[in-house]
């Protein structure tokens, strides 16, 4: 069995006296999509931020395997190293594209930012990859000089994904990537994400409260409630035959058309 790319052990986090997640352990293997589902306030986003090195957990460890390297604890890395990882090996797709985009510069500059951050200094090449990535996410190449605020919500979200994938990250964190989009746009975006994940061989951690999104994207699922992991397993297994009472409630709450 291959070694995990990301691993956390007994991660616990408190905001003051408020417990956000407790004793979470998980492994993410290369090329795998792991879904984290649960209701609002169940600690999903906190867990994602801890795994992405944005919050230091109160207790427990998070380790990441760099390219060709062994698992290294984030706490052993310097802030500079973590920030470098965050703009090269990692990608973070925010729920609101406005949090992940620079709204006052053009789409091309948004995509090129990560390239320039790792030292690319050739305008022609940067622009060429910006156009290439716009096409990858099905945005017209002619919009490369337009500001993101002239884009629709779905396009902004796709632009955010393009901006994140331009440095060929190995690990992508997604926080409710389809939240706030209407269902048809949501379906197209999911289709796009699924395609990109397959062709690029990405490892993905996707946080969602939408079980349909989890079912479409992820191969394994973790169900959280009140900061605890109540159930984990293969997506189909968890959704078809939920064991924990909360998972059963969650599955039975899906609206049927």
Residues that bind another protein (CB under 8 A): 79-80, 83, 87, 102, 104-106, 108-109, 112-114, 116-119, 121-124, 126-127, 144-145
- Is the separation of the CB atoms in 90 and 172 below 8 Å? yes
Task: For another protein, give the closer residue by CB, 96 or 127.
Answer: 127
Q: How far is the CB of 102 from another protein (least distance, A)?
A: 7
Q: Following DSSP, what letter does each residue of the chain receive, concatenated?
A: -PPPSEEEEEEEEEETTEEEEEEEEEEE-TT-EEEEEE-TTSSHHHHHHHHTTSS--SEEEEEEE-TT--EEEGGGS-HHHHHHHHHTTEEEE-SSHHHHS-TTS-HHHHHHHHHHHTT---HHHHHHHHHHHHHHTT--GGGGGS-GGGS-HHHHHHHHHHHHHTT--SEEEEESTTTTS-HHHHHHHHHHHHHHHHHHT-EEEEEES-HHHHHHH-SEEEEEETTEEEEEEEHHHHHHS--SHHHHHHHHTSPP-
Q: How far is the CB of 239 from another protein (least distance, A)?
A: 41
Task: For another protein, give the closer residue by CB, 43 or 108.
Answer: 108
Task: For another protein, give the closer residue by CB, 87 or 188.
Answer: 87
Q: How far is the CB of 76 from another protein (least distance, A)?
A: 18
Q: How far is the CB of 208 from another protein (least distance, A)?
A: 29
Task: For another protein, give the closer residue by CB, 112 or 227.
Answer: 112
Using N-to-C axis directions, what is the helix angle for 107-117 and 153-165, rounded to 10°? 20
Task: For another protein, give the closer residue by CB, 106 or 237.
Answer: 106
Q: How far is the CB of 136 from another protein (least distance, A)?
A: 19
Q: How far is the CB of 109 from another protein (least distance, A)?
A: 5
Task: For another protein, give the closer residue by CB, 158 or 163.
Answer: 163
């Amino acid at each position: 069995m291959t070694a995990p790319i990301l691993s956390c052990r007994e991660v616990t986090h408190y905001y003051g006296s408020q417990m956000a997640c407790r004793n979470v352990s998980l492994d993410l293997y290369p090329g795998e999509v792991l879904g984290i589902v649960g209701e609002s306030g169940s600690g999903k986003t906190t867990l994602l931020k801890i795994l992405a090195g944005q919050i230091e957990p109160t207790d427990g460890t998070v380790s990441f395997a760099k390219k060709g390297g062994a698992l290294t604890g984030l706490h052993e890395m310097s802030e500079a190293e973590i920030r470098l990882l965050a703009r090269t090996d990692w990608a973070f797709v925010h729920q609101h594209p406005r949090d992940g985009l620079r709204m006052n510069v053009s789409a091309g500059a948004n995509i090129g930012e990560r390239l320039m951050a790792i030292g690319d200094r050739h305008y022609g090449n940067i622009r060429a990859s910006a156009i290439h990535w716009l096409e990858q996410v099905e945005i017209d190449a002619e919009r490369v000089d337009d500001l993101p605020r002239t884009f629709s919500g779905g396009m902004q979200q796709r632009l955010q994904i393009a901006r994140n994938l331009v440095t060929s990250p190995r690990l992508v964190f997604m926080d409710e990537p389809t939240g706030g989009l209407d269902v048809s746009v949501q379906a197209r975006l999911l289709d796009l994400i699924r395609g990109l994940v397959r062709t690029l061989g990405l490892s993905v951690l996707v946080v969602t409260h939408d079980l349909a999104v989890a079912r479409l994207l992820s191969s394994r699922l973790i169900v959280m409630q009140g900061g605890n992991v109540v159930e984990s397993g293969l997506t189909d297994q968890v959704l078809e035959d939920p064991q924990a009472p909360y998972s059963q409630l969650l599955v039975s709450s899906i609206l049927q058309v």
